[in-house]
Amino acid sequence: MDELKKQFSQKALDDFKLIDQATNEHDEQAFALLMERYKKPVYHMILKMVRNVDDAEDLTIEAFAKAFKNLHRFKKDYTFSTWLFRIATNNSIDFIRKKRLETMSLNTSYQDESGENVTIDVQDKNPNPQEEAIKSQKKELVQMFVTKLPAKYQRLVRLRYFKELSYEEIAKELESPLGTVKAQLHRARELMYDLVKGKEQHM
């Protein structure tokens, strides 16, 4: 622990403690605190990449779901924020490749807890042979939560995450006002955040 103190900031050390509580003691509050610390910076980083509020919110949920699902594999060789941001970045790059979005933000970097620049690398923009596997993995993550949502949100979430329809397409499919669809999907996302924080680690 003394070696860790020399190497990392106090915030990073606090994160390590929360990770230990979350993985060893299944402390739901520890998961919640980790999400509270990093939800906004992760969201804003993703938003710069995809430039769409709705997509950024979806990708933020996915990033935390992946991170928490694999938290037991985290090694204290670097900060939690660096590890989390890389997960979020890679997930967003997969999304961008799939959507074939053009963005200059892929050439940017951010600073981790130690003040070191972490660059975002993209090898190419050609179709990725692993796209189907990525799509399957995302569906698996959402499936963890969807059956736990209130019935009125389940169809909305399936249309958005499984069929990958746009908000306009969902409104047309359900014959509902666009504003209603957006409001209900926002609420569904908040409920999914709660599931990610409190229950996903037990699945």
Kindly report the CATH number assigned to the domain that includes residue 98: 1.10.1740.10
pLDDT of residue 200: 46
Weakest-pLDDT range from 17-26, 153-162, 174-183 = 153-162
Counting residues of the chain whose pLDDT is more than 70, the rounded percentage is: 72
pLDDT for residue 202: 41
CB 81 within 8 A of CB 13: no
Q: Yes or no: say if 150 and 184 are a contact pair by the CB < 8 Å rule.
A: no
Contact 148, 202 (CB under 8 A): no
Q: Is 118 helix (H, G, I), strand (E, B) or coil?
A: strand
pLDDT range class, residue 74, cuts 50, 70, 90: very high
Phi, psi angle pair for 54, to nearest 5°: -65, -45
What integer pLDDT is reported at residue 123 of this predicted model? Answer: 45
- Reading phi first (left if > 0) and then psi (alpha if -120 to 50, else beta), residue 115 is in left
pLDDT at position 194 is: 81
Q: Which of 43-52, 87-96, 147-156, 179-188 has the lowest mean pLDDT?
A: 147-156
As for how many domains the chain has, the answer is 1
Range of 115's domain? 2-202
Give residue 3's pLDDT band: very low, low, confident or very high (50, 70, 90).
low
Count Cβ neighbours within 10 Å for each residue of 141-155 and write b for 16 or more, e otherwise: bbebbbeebeeebee
Nearest partner of 34 among 17, 58, 51, judged by Cα: 17
- Asked whether 179 and 171 are in contact (CB, 8 A), the reply is no
Residue 83 to residue 77: CA distance in whole angstroms: 10
Q: Kindly tell me the sign of the dihedral angle through the C-alpha atoms of 109, 111, 114, 116.
A: positive
Report how far residue 106's alpha carbon sits from residue 48's, in angstroms, rounded to the nearest whole number: 9
Cα of 69 vs its chain's centroid, Å: 11
Q: What is the pLDDT of residue 172?
A: 93
Helix or strand run (H / E) with residue 33 = helix 28-50
